[in-house]
C-alpha cells in the first residue's frame, strides 16, 4: 500500500512493500524525479539494502554453525513494512524480525524507516535495534534511482556527476559481483565525473576513499540537480542498468558495507559490517536527497 506526504515543494509516496520510495514529484512542474521501475529495464525504484549489501559468495553464509541462503542485497526490500503513521511532515515504517525472516537471518531485530520532508530535501533515516540476546552484525545501504535525463530536450552528455570538492575516488574492483581486493583511482583530484551511455557497461562503479560531503547529478546548461549526501559513508556507488543503448535512470548509492570478496570464508562473524550491536543497542544512519528543479 502507498502512503504520501507533501510540502510546498515536493510530494513523496512510499510503498509499504520494502518501505521503498515510489514517487518524488516536483510540485511546481509536476515532474516525476524518481525512476518508476520499468520491469524491462530495472523493476525497482529505491530499495533498502539490509541486512547486507551486494552479493554473498556462493549465495550463502554461515552463522552459529548453520548455513543460510541469501539473495543479493538482503531481504528488507521484499517484505511488507508496518506503517506507523504520518506526523504531517514524515512517514514512518517498521520491519520486525519474524518467523518469515529468521530462516533467512537468525537474529531478532527491528528496522525502522523515517522519510521526512524539509524544503526541497528528503531525509531517509534507517534505525536498527537489536532485540535479541546475541550480537547483531549487519550491513546497510541506500539504492535510490533517479529519472534521467530530466526531460526529453537533454541527453546523457548534457549531465555530469559533481562532488562538492576535488576527489581521487578509489574504485573497488569487482568480478562477477564479488570484490577482488584490488582498487584503482577513477580520476585524480577532480570534482567531476563525466557521463556517457557506456559508463556502466561493466556494472556499478563503487568508490571508496572519498572526503566529499555531497555528490550531485547536474544538468550543465540549467543547473538543475539532485544532490545526495555521501559524507561519512565509506562507499558510494553509481549505477544504471547495463545492456541498454541509453541511460534511463541513475542511482547514487551510499553504502555502509560491501558485497563479499571472491575469497570470502562465508563466516558471517568475519564479514565487514555497518555495525555490531549488543543486545538492546540501536544504531541509525540518514540519507539526504535534495531535488532542485
Nearest to 14 by CA among 34, 41, 31, 30: 34
Which pLDDT value is given to residue 98?
98
Which pLDDT value is given to residue 23?
98
Which pLDDT value is given to residue 281?
98
Nearest to 10 by CA among 30, 31, 25, 29: 25
Q: Which residues contact 204 (CB under 8 A, 6 or more apart)?
A: 174, 237, 238, 239, 251, 253
Judge contact between 17 and 128, C-beta under 8 A: no
Judge contact between 223 and 291, C-beta under 8 A: no
The pLDDT tens digits for 35-79 are 999 999 999 999 999 999 999 999 999 999 999 999 999 999 999
The pLDDT tens digits for 89-123 are 999 999 999 999 999 999 999 999 999 999 999 99
pTM, 2 dp: 0.97
CB-hemisphere CA count at 13 Å for 30? 0
Amino acid at each position: 500500500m502507498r502512503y504520501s506526504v507533501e510540502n510546498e515543494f515536493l510530494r513523496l509516496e512510499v510503498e509499504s512493500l520494502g518501505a521503498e520510495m515510489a514517487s518524488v514529484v516536483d510540485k511546481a512542474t509536476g515532474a516525476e524525479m524518481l525512476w518508476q521501475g520499468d520491469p524491462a529495464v530495472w523493476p525497482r525504484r529505491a530499495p533498502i539494502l539490509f541486512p547486507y549489501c551486494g552479493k554473498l559468495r556462493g549465495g550463502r553464509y554461515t552463522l552459529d554453525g548453520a548455513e543460510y541462503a541469501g539473495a543479493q542485497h538482503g531481504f528488507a526490500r521484499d517484505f511488507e513494512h508496518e506503517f506507523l503513521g504520518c506526523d504531517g511532515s514524515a512517514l514512518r515504517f517498521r520491519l520486525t524480525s519474524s518467523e518469515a525472516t529468521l530462516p533467512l537471518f537468525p537474529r531478532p531485530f527491528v528496522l525502522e524507516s523515517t522519510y521526512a520532508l524539509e524544503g526541497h530535501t528528503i531525509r531517509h533515516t534507517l534505525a536498527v535495534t537489536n532485540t535479541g540476546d546475541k550480537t547483531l552484525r549487519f550491513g546497510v545501504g541506500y539504492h535510490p534511482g533517479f529519472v534521467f535525463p530530466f526531460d526529453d530536450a537533454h541527453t546523457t552528455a548534457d549531465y555530469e556527476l559533481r562532488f562538492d570538492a576535488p576527489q581521487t575516488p578509489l574504485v573497488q574492483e569487482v568480478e562477477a559481483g564479488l570484490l577482488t581486493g584490488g582498487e584503482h583511482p577513477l580520476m585524480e583530484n577532480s570534482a567531476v565525473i563525466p557521463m556517457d551511455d557506456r559508463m556502466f557497461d561493466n556494472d556499478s562503479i563503487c568508490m571508496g576513499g572519498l572526503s566529499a560531503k555531497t555528490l550531485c547529478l547536474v544538468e550543465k546548461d540549467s543547473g538543475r540537480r539532485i544532490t545526495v549526501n555521501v559524507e561519512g559513508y565509506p562507499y558510494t556507488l553509481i549505477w544504471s542498468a547495463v545492456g541498454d543503448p541509453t541511460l534511463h535512470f541513475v542511482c547514487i548509492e551510499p553504502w555502509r558495507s560491501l558485497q563479499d570478496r571472491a575469497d570470502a570464508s562465508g563466516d558471517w562473524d568475519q564479514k565487514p559490517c555497518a555495525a555490531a550491536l549488543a543486545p538492546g543497542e540501536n544504531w541509525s544512519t540518514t540519507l539526504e536527497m535534495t531535488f532542485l528543479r
